[in-house]
Amino acid sequence: MDLFGFPWHYRAMRQSQLFTKTRKEAPSDEVAKNAQLLIRAGYAYKVMAGVYAYTPLGLRVLEKIKQIVREEMNTAGGQEIVMTSLQKKSTWEGTGRWDDAVVDVWFKSKLKDDTEVGLAWSHEEAILEMMQSFIKSYKDLPASVYQFQTKLRNELRAKSGIMRGREFVMKDMYSLHTTKEDMDMYYDKIIDAYKKCYERFGIGESTFVTFASGGAFTKFSHEFQTICDAGEDVLYVNEDQSVAVNEEVLDDATHELGIDKTVLKPVKSAEVGNIFKFGTEKSEKMGIYFTDSEGAQRPIYLASYGIGITRVMGVVVEKFADDKGIVWPASIAPFQVHLLGLGEDMADADRVYQDLIDAGVEVLYDDRTGVMAGEKFADADLLGMPTRIVISKRSLENGGAEVKGRTRSEGEIVPLTNLIAHVQKTH
């Protein structure tokens, strides 16, 4: 296995064997830039508004995002699980959230025996219900569990591509505690872990911990918002970017913080994560308790933490794409290198491809025959790998391979004998 959990042979791929194809035009009904580019490049396939399938290239990006999150959640003490998508009506009735007037995004159905079920839009209640089978005493707490799962939400509008889907992949984590103080400490720990995630995604500098409307336990919750012109939210940020407030709570939050709201400037942003403190509200409603050190029954404190995996992918595309196509940060790019073999004789390119594989470099090799050089260049820009390497008669006559970073205007000739070392130094 490599660093991201892919089998070794999956680090490399020949483009001639990739079943997806690039296309010049996006579907006419797709208005979001992120989805337009992902569909054109063959990372995603649109099933309907707000519903997308992901191809081998798209899956690699999602798996890399997930792996970064997994590493940070494990470091913070989280244990990975997988919950079910089918949810029991009774699980949610205790907190009132089965009621469509309270939660209006449910997809609901019935089993053959007429039992009502819901398709999971979240898992707070379901997690508490499961954990009560394992947590009986204060000695069993704290506990933190997380999952990567497809959520289903019957959104009224889904016009932002994969940034707002009716079906989407999310990391949701839930921590259970004996006291408010312990919950607060862990909550702050996860804020730091989330910051590390966004830094590793390549969007840390433009992502802020933001005051937003609260849950049942606190007046304010926190969102992680990334400055993005295609975002659906408005943030108010101060000059040194140390304070960020969602527009929906601007007056309340600035009053709470004791700052003049006129010093905050509005920017468009996209939510890429959110965290909530529910306290004991849910456990009390559901009748879920633990036995404390004195033998008394106490309600469990609960907090939840979400990162939109597919949403992060869409935000990254929106933020970094240029007029030629996608620009992936190296940390989540499907491949680090896009190798282009030009001309009919690609023996030298074949050798470089094998050298890159042997060196452990993730490489997509455009070995297609009968495809003009201009089309290969255009496809490489659209697909957005961090580094492009061209092996052609001209590059060899000039002394080796032409190497160019995705955002650079000019490439450089690197001797084949130095190519691997050059690539490894770059990445």
Percent of the chain with pLDDT over 90: 79
Residue 252 predicted with pLDDT over 70: yes
Residue 177 predicted with pLDDT over 90: yes
Q: Strand, coil or helix: what is 266?
A: strand
- Residue 108 has a pLDDT of 96
* Residues ≥6 apart with Cβ < 8 Å to 332: 61, 64, 65, 68, 201, 202, 313, 316
Compute the distance between CA of residue 15 and CA of residue 337 in angstroms, rounded to an integer: 12
Handedness of CA 278, 282, 284, 289 (dihedral sign): negative
- Residue 215 has a pLDDT of 53
Please write the tens of the pLDDT for every residue from 78-114. Answer: 999 999 999 999 999 999 999 999 999 999 999 999 9
Mean pLDDT within 273-298: 95
Mean pLDDT within 12-33: 92
Label the pairing between strands 337-341 and 363-366: parallel
Residue 3 predicted with pLDDT over 50: no
Please write the tens of the pLDDT for every residue from 315-364. Answer: 999 999 999 999 999 999 999 999 999 998 899 999 999 999 999 999 99
Mean pLDDT within 116-130: 95
The closest alpha carbon to 224, from 325, 311, 95, belongs to 311
Residue 120 predicted with pLDDT over 90: yes
Please, how many CA atoms are within 13 Å of residue 71, restricted to the half-sphere of its CB? 13
Helix, strand and coil in the chain, % to nearest 5: 35, 30, 35
Compute the distance between CA of residue 166 and CA of residue 421 in angstroms, rounded to an integer: 45
- Residue 254 has a pLDDT of 85
User: DSSP character for 115?
Assistant: -
Mean pLDDT within 210-215: 74
Residue 43 predicted with pLDDT over 90: yes
- Residue 242 has a pLDDT of 78
Please write the tens of the pLDDT for every residue from 350-359. Answer: 999 999 999 9
The tokens describing 292, both together, are 């404390």
Residue 10 predicted with pLDDT over 70: no
**Cis (ω within 30 of 0) for the bond into 142?**
yes
Its pTM stands at 0.93
* Residues ≥6 apart with Cβ < 8 Å to 358: none
Contacts 24+ apart (CB under 8 A), 132-137: 132/288, 135/176, 135/290, 135/300, 136/290, 136/291, 137/290, 137/291
Please write the tens of the pLDDT for every residue from 353-384. Answer: 999 999 999 999 999 999 999 999 999 999 99
Compute the distance between CA of residue 293 and CA of residue 30 in angstroms, rounded to an integer: 58
Compute the distance between CA of residue 366 and CA of residue 18 in angstroms, rounded to an integer: 10
- Given pLDDT bands bounded at 50, 70 and 90, which one contains residue 245? confident
